[in-house]
Structures are given as C-alpha cells and as structure tokens.
Amino acid sequence: MLDKINSVFFEEAAELLEQLEGHLLSLDENPNDKDIIAAVFRAMHTIKGSSGMFGFDEISKFTHEVENTFDMVRNGDAPVTKELISLTLKARDHIKLLLDSKTQGEYNSQSQTLIQEFKNFMAQYSEGNTAPSNTKNVDFVIMNDDIPELESVSDDVEAEEVLLSYKITFAPSRDILKNGTRPKMLVRELADLGDASILMFLDDIPPLSQLDTELCYVSWTVFLTTKATKNDIQDVFIFVNDDSKIDIRSFEIDRDFSPKIGEILIHNKIITKQNLDEVISKRIKVEQMLVEENLVTPEQLQVAILEQEHYKNIVKKQNESTASQASQSIRVSSDKLDMLIDIVGELVTFTARLNQISQDYGISSLLSLSEQGEKLILNLRDTAMDMRMLPIGTIFSRFRRLVRDLSSELGKDIELETEGAETELDKTVIEKLNDPLVHLIRNSIDHGIEMPEVRKQKGKNPVGTVKLIAKHAGAFVLITIQDDGAGLNTNKIHQKALEKGIIGPNAELSTQEINELIFAPGFSTADKVSSISGRGVGMDVVKKDITALNGTVSVESKEDEGSSFILKLPLTLAIIEGMLVQIGNEKFIIPLSNIEECLIFNPPTEDDGSMCSYIDSRGTYLPYVNLRTYFEIEGNVPKNRQVVVVNDSDSRIGLVVDSVIGNHQTVIKPLGKLYSHIDGLSGATILGDGSVALILDVFKLVSLLKRDESIL
C-alpha cells in the first residue's frame, strides 16, 4: 500500500517538475508576468509540502529555499533575471535528481551548494537593496469616480492553491437615495459576481423620531471571490455620487493558511503582535479582551470575523471542487492501456472471423449478432484509441529547455516557435519521437543557424529561429523542424560522401538525392568532433527510428534561407480503418484515410503490363501504379479491373487492383523479415478466415512515381 502511495507522489512530482520547467522558460521570455511567477511559486510550494508529507525531508528542505526566493519575487522584493532563471532551472534538475536518488543524503553537498547560491542571490536584494516593484501585488483604494490607473494583480480567481479576492467597503453618502440610486441593489450586484460574504452596519441609524426616510444611514463590507475583473467591480459603482466612499482592496486566500481572528487583525494593521501577545497572556477570550482594552472596535471585530468565515468557505469550496475533479479522472498505467489495445485488436479479429463464419453457413441469427458485436467493438476501439491519443505539445514543450541551453553553449541567440501543439498522436508514437526530434533540433542549432555576427553580415536577424510545426494529413501527422539558417551545403555534402566512400566518383545525383545523403550511416559534415556533433551518429538514427514507426523523413533546403526536415508518421500503430482489395490470390489493405475514390480501370491504350503509366480521370491525366506488375503477382488478369485513387497530401495517384472487396477494420501487425525489404508495405493484418493481408504504404508508392520523372 505504501509503495502505491509513494508512486502517486513520484508521478505528481514528475508532472510538477515538467510544468515548472515550462513556467520558467515562459518567465524567461516574460519576466514581469505575475501569473507565471505565481505558478512557479505554487509549484515549489506543492513539491515542498508533498515531499515533507511523504517523508522526503531533503527535498522539502531544499525546495523551501527556492520557494523563499520566489516569495521575494512575488512580493516585488527581487526581480526576475537571467541569473535567477538559470539558477532555478538547475534547482529543478536537482530536485529531479533527488527524486531519482535511492537514498536520502546522497546529494547533500550539491544541495548545500545550490542553497548557498540562492541565499547569495537573495542577499543582493535584502537590507534595503530592494528590486523594482514591477512584480508586487498591491492593495488599492478607489474613491468615487476619481479612479487611478490600477496595476493588475489578477483578473481571475486563482483556481489552484492561491485565490485572489477583494475586500470592498461601501459607505453611501447620506443623500444617495435622492438621486434614485438604491445601495442595496449595488451590493446585490456585487454578490452576483462571485462568492460573497456581506456585513451590513446599522449603528448610524438614529432613533425613529429622528429618522429621515430620504437619507441613507447604513454601510457595507463585502468579501468577494470572483472571476470578474477589477473593472467589473468598478463598473458596479460607476453612477455612485461623489460623496460616497468606496474602498476596494485585493487579498489572497491560501489553502494552506487558516487564519485566526488575531492574525487577521494584525494583517489588517488594526493591532500589533505585541497587543495580541499581551491579551493572550491574560488568558481571557481574545475577542472579548480586544474590545474591552479598546484595541479594536466592535465593528472592526465583526469585519475580522466575517473575513475569517469567508476564508473558510472559499477554501472549503475549492477543496470540494478539487476532490470532485479528482473523482472524475483517474491515473491509468500506460501498460494497462497497451494491454487494452491488444485485447481490442484481438476482438476485432475475432469479430471478423465470426462474421465470415456466419456468412459461409448462412446463419441469419449469428450474422445479426456478429453485426451487433462489430458495432460495439467499433465503439470500444474508438474509445480505447482516444485514451491513447495525446497532444504532440506534450513533447514540444520539452525542447524549449534544449534550445535555450544549447544556443547559450554555442554563443547563439535562438528562439523556438511551435505550431499545431494541439495535434493529437498515439502515445506510443509520441514516446518514440523524443530522440529523433532531439537529433534534428540539435542539428538545426549546431549546423543550420549561423553565429549572430555572420547573420548580421548576411542582412539577417541576429536572432535565429527554429520552428516545430505539426498538422494532420489523413491518417498521418506531418511534423516539420524548420530553421532559418544557412541551408544545406550540397557541395560539401557531396565531397564528404565521396571521401567516406558513401557514393562512387562517377555517381550522378540530383540536388535532392545529395541532400538525402545526410541520412547515410556515419555521415557528418562537421570539421571537428565536439560534445554536440561530428561523430556521424544522429541523422541515420533519425531515419531508422522514423522508419521503425512506419513513417518517412525527408529534407528540403534553400541556400541562406534555411532547411526543413519533414516527418510523416501514422496516427496510431495499432488499429486503422482500411479497404480490402484483391490482386490474383493475394489480398491487400489500403488505409481508408488515403482513399479518394474508386474507378473502373480504362487505360487509353491496350494494357501492356507496364508498372507505371497514365489514365484519363475526368479530363485530367492520373498517374497510376499497376500493383500486379509491381508485386510480380502471377495469374490470369481479369477483364474488368479497378483503380483506387489515393493521395499523400501532396500528390494524387491510382493503384490498379483486380477488385475492391470492401471496408475492413485492420489490426496492424509488424512485417516479418521476408517482407521487410519490400518498398510499399507498412505492415500486415489477419483476416476473418485466418489468412494474411498486407497493408500498403501509400507514401512509399507515391515516392516510387516521383522518382520516375517521366511520370510525375
């Protein structure tokens, strides 16, 4: 049981550290953003509390020092600097090291060194050496319609541990009723903005004999926790006359702080700690004694009690909300998800066999059950697949740190831009993408983007850019790693390939074929070996890893404009919708997402069995691949054949088959060694009768035609 509890802590801590890195890199770009500063503080605060709760005292103690530093930043006593960001990133890495450590105390000396660095940083801004107050949370007062420009604290209620609220004191003028204003309605309008605690003061109401019904004698104090902006609160009082007094102050509600009445009075500077200690020493009820000693008025005490109640109610509501959200989602091991997909795959195959048997024997009741089971399994498949789909931004965010650290090491100034981070991909594919993307980004930073002074000489922005772009293309996702550097040097690549014996001296290659040589094993254009590159290991590994995912990698480059590496990856490696086709006695699956239409095969001249040619498709020429010829399938050629028109998002071609059988849920199985060398195949599947159908790789078949310049 204890191991399970600890595993939850480690999982949550890992997530917090990943989020923390993202917050710090965002803060590096926007050092005055109070929301990000608060997010960093909360992450440290949570890690500290959780680690202490689970007995990881070394982590708790270390994180406490970092938390103290960001508490100073949050209060405006220290600025966000490059030094602080780098130091906190080191601390983040050290916390991860402590989490991975088998024994406490293993890295105590490193912890002490980092703690001292944080203390040195804080010492610069202590004892009067205060930082600019660009990050300070402020309390503010609004008097009538003389409204100053207010520094933004936060427009929204914090939905996490620190919640921003307002204390609003409203004392209408005596004559406010005479101009038609109804103060009670204004207070009700405030309450409608969020969670409100309201206290009405009646002490100024005179005896009935002296009461003037046209005058207002009451005032209000309202504690409001809201998603509305400060401007929304101001707008409530926009038509209030000049003699009314309105005081609006912001304050924070911390889940970990349950204030007592005395603490609230001290915080609001109504009494001092010394006053409180003296009252407590007399062992009399604090509230009673404070009033008897004339340290607070009954009215001030009522306000403090209301504030305390507001604290308790808001924290209780937030905790209930968090518990409710937690109960709606659970953590599931990725191994269990993989097992679920395997079971769904087996069910798909089982249903196909059941359907085949019911058709062969003509059992209508069994056929009906088979169709019903197929619908249920289809829903189960879609649900299981959705559970495995993750936004690709989950790995995009990791590379911000890589770009920052590597560009700093090389003396370059490089920014990372991302597009399509919401694009979803199977988690199995995402997990295997990290290493290839790291290689490609490092290549762009090291080889692609020039030094700042070189870029200036070329008339470029000295700040280089690496872009990560993701988008859907049918059943595939296209990921582009693009830089605005020098581009590939084809002459240098060709010369290096000759020196290493990768190509022969008489080889005639196009520019694109020369560029593709960078994926050859052992190839490198680096003049010397460094810690980053030059060993000829990387680009060939990228191609190998992407090919293992049934994907492709290509490169495009223009001199002095930059290079783009394009990865084409399947959405999933488990189950796809396909169309079953037949050629001779062989059956094949074409991914349904690549199919546009099916046509009757009518070649313009007598079919001579050529592998590639053209047919007329609604007045335009459509290149096609004769799959019977391509796969060397023997047997009689039927008189009426069909063309399945497919696309790879760039090109449109036809695949000539003997016949189209129909849709088929396809459980993807890896190819054996016998077929691994054949271009145009991406996997296999088991049909209902137990036979095997090969899955066609549309992208490889399109590239086959592209290599024949006479066709495309």
The DSSP call for residue 565 is E
pLDDT of residue 236: 87
The domain 575-707 is classified under which CATH number: 3.40.50.1360, 3.60.15.10, 2.30.30.40, 3.20.20.10?
A: 2.30.30.40
Work out the average pLDDT over 646-656. Answer: 79
Q: Which of these, 547, 341, 525, 330, lies nearest to 447 by C-alpha position?
A: 525
The DSSP line for 667-695 is: E-B---TTTTT-TTEEEEEE-TTS-EEEE
Work out the average pLDDT over 269-295. Answer: 70
d(Cα 436, Cα 539) in Å, to the nearest integer? Answer: 8
Give pLDDT tens digits for 391-408: 888 788 788 888 988 988
Q: Quick one: three-class SS letters along 349-382?
A: HHHHHHHHHHHHHCCHHHHHHHHHHHHHHHHHHH
Q: Which amino acid is at 381?
A: R
Residue 347 has pLDDT above 60, yes or no: yes
Residue in the structure block whose two tokens are 């997010």? 39
pLDDT of residue 149: 32
Domain boundaries, the chain: 2-123, 162-326, 334-390, 392-570, 575-707
HSE-CB at 206 with a 13 A cutoff on CA atoms is 9
Q: Which is more confident, 162 or 274?
A: 274
User: From the CB of residue 664, how many other CB atoms can be counted at a distance below 10 Å?
Assistant: 22
Domain 2-123 has CATH 3.40.50.2000: no
Residue 15: which residues within 8 A CB-CB, separation 6 or more? Answer: none
Work out the average pLDDT over 666-674. Answer: 75
Work out the average pLDDT over 326-330. Answer: 58
pLDDT of residue 154: 35
Task: Note the Cα 104 to chain centre separation in Å.
Answer: 32
Q: What percent of the chain has pLDDT over 90?
A: 12
Residue 686 has pLDDT above 90, yes or no: no
Confidence category of residue 537, pLDDT binned at 50, 70, 90: very low
pLDDT of residue 536: 43
Per the structure block, which two tokens stand in for 626?
A: 């004769």
- Highest averaged pLDDT of the listed ranges 109-113, 302-306, 683-687: 109-113
- Highest averaged pLDDT of the listed ranges 172-186, 515-529, 569-583: 172-186
Confidence category of residue 319, pLDDT binned at 50, 70, 90: low
Residue 465 has pLDDT above 90, yes or no: yes
Residue 158 has pLDDT above 50, yes or no: no
The DSSP call for residue 250 is E
Residue in the structure block whose two tokens are 């307002």? 166
Dihedral of alpha carbons 233, 236, 242, 246, sign = negative
pLDDT of residue 124: 84
Domain 392-570 has CATH 3.30.565.10: yes
Q: Which of these, 235, 238, 234, 229, lies nearest to 152 by C-alpha position?
A: 229
Task: Note the Cα 519 to chain centre separation in Å.
Answer: 30
pLDDT of residue 551: 79
Residue 1 has pLDDT above 50, yes or no: no
Largest CA distance in the chain: 116
Q: What percent of the chain has pLDDT over 70?
A: 82
Confidence category of residue 142, pLDDT binned at 50, 70, 90: very low
Residue 249 has pLDDT above 90, yes or no: no
Q: Which amino acid is at 404?
A: R
Q: What region, left, alpha or beta, does residue 337 occupy, with left being phi > 0 and alpha being psi -120 to 50 degrees?
A: alpha
d(Cα 656, Cα 601) in Å, to the nearest integer? Answer: 7
pLDDT of residue 159: 37
User: From the CB of residue 545, how many other CB atoms can be counted at a distance below 10 Å?
Assistant: 19
Whether the Cβ atoms of residue 624 and residue 653 lie closer than 8 Å to each other: yes
d(Cα 322, Cα 315) in Å, to the nearest integer? Answer: 10
Facing residues of 615 across strands? Answer: 622
The DSSP call for residue 671 is -
pLDDT of residue 160: 41
Average pLDDT across the chain, whole number: 79
The DSSP call for residue 581 is E
Residue 680: which residues within 8 A CB-CB, separation 6 or more? Answer: 630, 631, 696, 697, 700, 701, 704
pLDDT of residue 145: 33
**pTM, two decimal places:** 0.57
The DSSP call for residue 145 is T
Residue 436: which residues within 8 A CB-CB, separation 6 or more? Answer: 541, 542, 545, 546, 553, 567
